[in-house]
Chain A
């Protein structure tokens, strides 16, 4: 299946806000609100950070927020911290009843 498109890298200084985009199509992000975001530190399993576009699981910092407009979803990290340095992946349910992950974004804290 085609991957959703994310920027390869995003960086910011501690305390700043950054936004990661995730572009899909009218067969996935554009038609479903089942967009989720995962954080992955090196050598670790992914961790759910946002689900259904803008919902946070229990235990995830409120510095993480999600949004969607048309075929594009976004993850915003506010008050950037050193521990936020990781890879981030978006994911969407699709009209083919399969899932599509994004290409992944490496977040660097300067």
Chain B
């Protein structure tokens, strides 16, 4: 069955970068688009962006444009999200989710990123 396993929790200092991985199983990663979503403690879901593998392009939220980079490794069936110049307000759980006809039908378990000096 379709499943995503994300990398473990991270603690980073302000100004550093973090890279979160999302390994897919049960299907080939590039056959569906993939989204990244985050949720700060006690806050709502925030859409970060998506990868159109078929079109080989990415779309980022305006708020994080310039600090956010999505990449993928087809051979490892894994996608990556890197966020740079971290701030305390980037502390959140980061999720990857598969997009199937514009609905997010399978989600990873989430990765907690804590930004603290």
Interface centre among B35, B63, B107, B108 (most CB of A within 10 A): B107
**Complex contact A1–B47 (CB within 8 A):** yes
- Contact A93:B61 (CB < 8 A) given known A45-B110, A100-B47: no
**Complex contact A101–B103 (CB within 8 A):** no
Q: Count residues on chain B whose CB falls below 8 Å from chain A CBs.
A: 23
In the complex, what residue of chain A is closest to B103 when comparing beta carbons? A51
When distances are taken between beta carbons in the complex, the residues of chain A under 8 Å from B110 are 45
Q: Is B9 an interface residue (CB 8 A)?
A: no
**Complex contact A101–B45 (CB within 8 A):** yes
Chain A interface SS verdict (over half): strand
B binding-site residues for A, Cβ under 8 Å: 35, 37, 44-47, 49-50, 59, 61-63, 95, 97, 101-105, 107-110
Which 3 pairs across A and B sit closest by C-beta, in order of nearness?
A: A51-B103, A45-B107, A99-B47
Q: List 29 A-B contacts (CB under 8 A).
A: A1-B47, A1-B61, A1-B62, A1-B63, A3-B44, A34-B102, A34-B103, A38-B45, A45-B95, A46-B37, A46-B45, A47-B107, A48-B103, A51-B105, A89-B44, A91-B45, A91-B104, A97-B59, A98-B59, A98-B61, A99-B35, A99-B47, A100-B47, A101-B37, A101-B47, A102-B44, A103-B44, A104-B44, A104-B45
